[in-house]
Structure 1
Amino acid sequence: MQLVKVKDGLLELDNFLTTSPIEDFLGNGEYHRTPDKFVLRSGEIERKIDYDEFLIIVDKEATELSPDDRFEFYLSDGTNKAGIEEIYNTEYAKYWKLIYHDGYIQGYKSNDSKIWFNVGGIKSNKPKYQGFKTKGKELTINNYRVYRGPYLTIQNFYPGTLVKLLDLDGNLIKERVFSNNNECNIFLDYPIGGTLEFYNQLGELIYKSNPMFFSYGDVFMFTEYNLQLFYKGQLLTHKTTTLYSLIETVTLRNNSDETYSNINISINNLNDDEITISKDNNNFYESFIIEEIRPKEEIEIYIKIIKDRSTLFRMNDFTIEIS
């Protein structure tokens, strides 16, 4: 049994504010940007946001405001907006955090990105826009990141199991219990390097992970198989790998000393491309069974992609799932 990362929590690899084309911004705001800063000089600016749930972290300059100054960081459904505001004689935080989860918007402020103070929340429809507004002084943003949500998720373990998140010095940070759907969600105050310990209902330690880095929105899963996938000699992980053509081959390797039987290989495809796999490069299916794979054995898996005509020039994601 081993714990593997299956999804990275970061939804946007790049800083949207410093890398997106100018046509992606809405509003009347006057701004300028460099490769590592976004400065809103005046007015209001928005971007479209289309995630069911998410968390946004903003690293900004903690600017002291006068009575006529105001900063806003908000989410909007097109009619109403909610978020964080800074005005004269309030705490001027360096970090802002907005979470949209389970139909609620929650706002947080921090000066060190570890200890957060909740500044309020409100029930909301799914946001369509995320915006900034300034009156008076310039709002300088040093970094901007969008994640899946505030939770570290662990899947595929026994209900009732207690999991403890410890930092690298062995200090207990959080602990939670696996629910009946074999899943556990740990609310992260900040990304952290550490380990996970798992205890049965008798309080006995049954598994301890290697030191890892855990971030907002990351998803880990327990698997009983020690299998690896390779593409052109590169080990595939949770990180996205770009295929060079529409017909490709990946290699499944049994990295254990055990023989595995009845391994299901399938495609998880959320776009309109037709993606199928094969054991023999002749007969292609959405899934198939590998009857047996011996220790250190390698098996070729053939992938065929037929692009949807409406997305010929777009790269779409899919995953190969092993169960």
Structure 2
Amino acid sequence: MAKKVKDPGLGEDSIIIAKRIINKDGSFNIRHLNRQKGISALYAYLVDLSWTHFFCLVFLMYFMLNMTFAAIYVAIGVQYISVEPQGFVIDFVNAFFFSSQTITTLGYGAMAPTNVIAGIVSSFQALIGLLSFSFVTGLLYGRFSKPKASIRFSDNIICREFNEGRALMFRLMNSKKDVMINPRVKVTLAITEPDKKQGYKRNFYQLSLERDHITYLPTTWTLVHEIDKNSPLDKFSSEELQKLNGEFLIMVSYYDEAFNQDVYKLHSYTFEELKMNVVFEKAFYFDEDGYTVLDHHKISDTREM
């Protein structure tokens, strides 16, 4: 008989159209309202931002700052930054270049402030440049030094025949060459079901796994939950499984030798991502020299039984 477990911190209240709890990227699918914001929140946001978005944001801020100060220098008069006026467009371009040299504290010497107002503005801009580049340097360090789990999950969870019965399986892979020490996996099943108050609630079950920890993970690891009499899914047929409103909540943790500390990764599968009667293809093989070859493109490959 399957036993429910206490709410792991996600809340038991639910509705029939509730979205998934954990997104594909491992973040919780929650919209925050009236959340207090501050420098620490901004720092956390910028550290977690993708590299593409991060560098685009840095370039945009750099460009906008120089555009703003270029407009100020044009308003003051470009003759006060050692440039002869030649029309608005040329003056603005020259002012932009002078602004770029000032904010980076580079200074080629061809252009320089020649009156008090231009000197005050350029001094203030140099201070902003120093503070800005210090902030970006700190962000770069934080982004590189933040521990991140190097785990890839299969695109789908599968259900297949196993030991004269059925079993659920999903697969994970070490996406880097770093050695994962003592990886551990915990799987919680959340099913949205009608309650006695004519509403809906989430019921949580801790799924038993054939193996929930191993010593190290150099290649792939297939996690197996056997659907037996102790499984909360035993009462459902294969067709009913695909129609369930629920989610498999997965947490993987291990010791990462690169960061010298434990790291973790969250992931989830919904029943819409359940594939029936297929098996995973092998993702590694031995080459002619006897080396184990791991094909990262085959993490999600399946075939019909």
Max radius of gyration: which structure? 2
Which structure would you say has the larger RCO, counting Cα contacts within 8 Å and 6 or more residues apart?
2
More helix by share: 2
TM-score, reference length from structure 2? 0.30
More strand by share: 1
